[in-house]
Homo-oligomer: A and B are copies of this chain.
């Protein structure tokens, strides 16, 4: 149950931002992912301050949340769905720098410009904070800044692991590391599952792992043959042999 579902008046006008995403301004008190989000560290009172500046937005599949070159106006916290972050080269080559799921935030900027673009992989919801007003709140709420630091540090550690993957791992190791990562995250939130949603395309996976679509596809087929994973239906992976998956991920 998310904040949007608590709207009482269905006739309330639907607001949209400049690129057509739905926006709702409502409090955070019913947030489904509060304990994993930016606001996790806040007291009730502080939460009220934060919810005064937050907007809940809905983003359709394939819609853009932010654009690499844009002025960095907002910080986002994904509450539902999934998002891909990516950078583009002049000739169109693309590197996906991360896939985001509920609890993750986006909107890191350098010199008030976003460092990457972001696009929804599926119907997605997010909290949106204006960076400017956020700055003020950060000064009032050291806990919030502390939490943000811890989240960014975490991101940095993941980024460094991804560098190892991109620079030194083989195609098979890359795929296994990727699937293991998705699986571990999934199990953390929903213990006991072996089934993992795969909301991104093969091409997205390739652009995340520094491979082509074809190599991703071929390698997935191999992993299937080896009994590491199964693909019961499009957009779902089952981890059949986690032990093996982990070993292959590290090249053991």
Q: Chain A interface (Cβ within 8 Å of chain B)?
A: 85, 87, 89-91, 93-95, 97, 108-110, 115-116, 138-139, 142, 145-146, 148-149, 152-157, 159-164, 166-169, 207-210, 250-252
Q: Is the CB of B145 within 8 A of A89?
A: no
Interface of A is mostly: helix
In the assembled complex, 22 residue pairs joining A and B whose CB atoms fall closer than 8 Å, in A order, are: A87-B161, A90-B250, A93-B168, A93-B169, A93-B251, A95-B163, A95-B164, A95-B167, A97-B164, A110-B154, A115-B157, A115-B160, A139-B142, A142-B145, A145-B145, A152-B152, A152-B153, A155-B156, A156-B156, A156-B159, A159-B159, A159-B160
Q: Is the CB of B108 within 8 A of A156?
A: yes
Expressed in whole angstroms, the Cα–Cα distance for A208 and B163 within the complex equals 9
Q: Is the CB of A149 within 8 A of B145?
A: yes
How many identical chains are in the complex? Answer: 2
Q: Is the CB of B153 within 8 A of A146?
A: no
Partner pick for A146 among B85, B97, B109, B145, CB 8 A cutoff? B145
Q: Which residue of B lies closest to A113 (CB)?
A: B157
Q: Which residue of B lies closest to A247 (CB)?
A: B90
Q: List the B side residues contacting A145 at CB < 8 Å.
A: 142, 145-146, 149
Q: List the B side residues contacting A159 at CB < 8 Å.
A: 156, 159-160, 163
Q: List the B side residues contacting A89 at CB < 8 Å.
A: 164, 168-169, 250-251
Expressed in whole angstroms, the Cα–Cα distance for A251 and B91 within the complex equals 8
Expressed in whole angstroms, the Cα–Cα distance for A152 and B154 within the complex equals 10
CB distance from A111 to the nearest CB of B (A): 10
Expressed in whole angstroms, the Cα–Cα distance for A162 and B165 within the complex equals 12
Q: List the B side residues contacting A163 at CB < 8 Å.
A: 87, 95, 97, 159, 162-163, 166
Q: List the B side residues contacting A93 at CB < 8 Å.
A: 168-169, 251
Partner pick for A160 among B87, B152, B167, B251, CB 8 A cutoff? B87
Expressed in whole angstroms, the Cα–Cα distance for A145 and B138 within the complex equals 10
Q: List the B side residues contacting A138 at CB < 8 Å.
A: 146
CB distance from A211 to the nearest CB of B (A): 8
Query: Given A89-B250, A110-B157, A162-B163, 20 more contacts at CB 8 Å?
Result: A85-B160, A87-B163, A90-B252, A93-B251, A108-B153, A115-B160, A139-B142, A145-B146, A148-B149, A149-B152, A152-B156, A155-B156, A156-B156, A156-B159, A159-B159, A159-B160, A159-B163, A163-B166, A167-B210, A168-B210
